[in-house]
Amino acid sequence: MRTQDIDEMRRLPFFRDVEAGNVDAMLRSAFLQRFPAHVELVRDGEPADFLHVIIEGTVEMFSGHRDRETTLGVSGPGESFILAAVLLDRPYLQSARALSAARILMLPADAVRQAFAADAGFARALAAGTAQAYRGVVRELKNQKLRSGLERLANWLLTHDVECGSRGRFDFPFDKKVLAARLGMAPEVLSRSFAALAAYDVVVRGPSVCINDVDALRKLARPSPTIDGTNI
């Protein structure tokens, strides 16, 4: 890793509560890698060699079983993934692939565990990080078990609109096929769901979507703070 990159990485929010010496110890053995789109970054079942921190790009977390595959989440810049596997020194439960070209900081697992053991601030930050990740998955599980496909889509649209500045209009951040997997439905079903949302004044044209009547959509979606977070 180049010294210039190291300086940039040192300033990551991820390292905020960590002593400088421990940050450097981790960065010394780290890699800053660029990956093209569609590349698989980690495969589930394999030992947790690296903690990954996304610097640029988006990463899809997914998993397959028999002939099925599902997307478990999509992460973006600033987020780390498979922290829990690294901490506990257990195999990954999820696979990851780059959705776009991505720049990723890879911290060797034993360096992370060493810093975790040596640095109480880091340990607390990781506890908070895994706690947040935990709550994210619980939300996702509730979303999956308590809602129909159409409701999941409606809520995703509302949430994403808020993240884009509540303009009632945005472009999809990834292919609709990925969105379908993200929402746990077949691509065809997503397509039909969009058609069904026309009745609620949601207009999809190509890669962009217009929510013309937010209230109507909210009435269908019925967002809940214990599933979708508080800012919706």
Contacting positions for DNA (CB under 7 A): 68, 148-150, 172, 175-177, 184-192, 194-195, 204, 206-207
Pairing of β 50-56 and β 80-81? antiparallel
Which of residues 159 and 166 has its CB atom nearest to DNA in the complex?
A: 159
The distance of closest approach from Cβ of residue 228 to a copy of itself in the complex, given in angstroms and rounded to an integer, is 11
What DSSP assignment string belongs to 198-211? GGGTEEEETTEEEE
DSSP assignment, residue 15? G
Task: Catalog residues that contact a copy of itself under the rule CB under 8 A.
Answer: 44-45, 63-66, 68-70, 72, 83-85, 87-88, 90-94, 116-117, 120, 123-124, 126-128, 130-135, 137-142, 144-147, 184, 222, 224-227
The separation between CA 193 and the C-alpha centre of its own chain, rounded to angstroms, equals 23
Q: Which does 35 bind (CB under 5 to 8 A by kind): a copy of itself, DNA, none?
A: none
Which of residues 32 and 189 has its CB atom nearest to a copy of itself in the complex?
A: 189
Q: Which does 189 bind (CB under 5 to 8 A by kind): a copy of itself, DNA, none?
A: DNA
Alpha-carbon distance of 59 to 110, in angstroms, equals: 23
Q: What is the token pair recorded at 161? A: 């609109």
Beta strands in the chain, from DSSP E residues, in sequence order:
31-35, 40-42, 50-56, 59-65, 68-75, 80-81, 95-98, 102-108, 169-171, 202-205, 208-211
Q: Which does 224 bind (CB under 5 to 8 A by kind): a copy of itself, DNA, none?
A: a copy of itself
Alpha-carbon distance of 212 to 10, in angstroms, equals: 44
Which of residues 168 and 173 has its CB atom nearest to DNA in the complex?
A: 173
The distance of closest approach from Cβ of residue 171 to DNA in the complex, given in angstroms and rounded to an integer, is 11
Nearest to 166, CA basis, from 215, 224, 121, 107? 215
Which of residues 126 and 211 has its CB atom nearest to a copy of itself in the complex?
A: 126
Residue 11: C-alpha distances to residues 8, 59, 96, 117, 158 (Å): 6, 22, 25, 22, 33
Which of residues 78 and 148 has its CB atom nearest to DNA in the complex?
A: 148
Q: What is the token pair recorded at 149? A: 């496909």
Q: Which does 130 bind (CB under 5 to 8 A by kind): a copy of itself, DNA, none?
A: a copy of itself
Q: Which does 59 bind (CB under 5 to 8 A by kind): a copy of itself, DNA, none?
A: none
Which of residues 128 and 186 has its CB atom nearest to DNA in the complex?
A: 186
The distance of closest approach from Cβ of residue 145 to DNA in the complex, given in angstroms and rounded to an integer, is 8
Contact call for residues 73 and 136 (beta carbons, < 8 A) = yes
Q: Which does 188 bind (CB under 5 to 8 A by kind): DNA, a copy of itself, none?
A: DNA
